[in-house]
């Protein structure tokens, strides 16, 4: 079974505010998420993969 994180747990894992995650969802950026009814959840493995993909060596794009 997949480990699903709440919005608060995901924000804590990323050292971000919940509001930032909410804004990213509206804009269509940031990690992918699941909607279970009205509940938003983040798959822990997907969140880790997204975070690893954010690594950069310079500030261009």
SS3 at position 5: strand
pTM across the whole model: 0.86
Look-up: residue for tokens 């971000």? Answer: 16
pLDDT for residue 61 is more than 80: no
Which residues are paired to 40 by β-bridges?
Answer: 35
Task: Evaluate whether 4 touches 47 at the Cβ level (below 8 Å).
Answer: no
> In this predicted model, what pLDDT tens digit does every residue of 7-54 receive, in sequence order?
999 999 999 999 999 999 999 999 999 999 999 999 999 999 999 999
**Contact in structure between 9 and 39 (CB atoms under 8 Å):** no
DSSP, res 3: -
Domain segments of the chain as ranges: 4-53
């Amino acid at each position: 079974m997949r480990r699903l994180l709440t919005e608060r747990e995901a924000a804590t894992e990323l050292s971000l505010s919940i509001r930032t995650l909410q804004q990213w969802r509206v804009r269509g950026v940031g990690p992918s998420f699941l909607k279970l009814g009205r509940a938003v959840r983040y798959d822990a493995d997907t969140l880790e993969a997204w975070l690893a993909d954010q690594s950069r060596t310079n500030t261009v794009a």
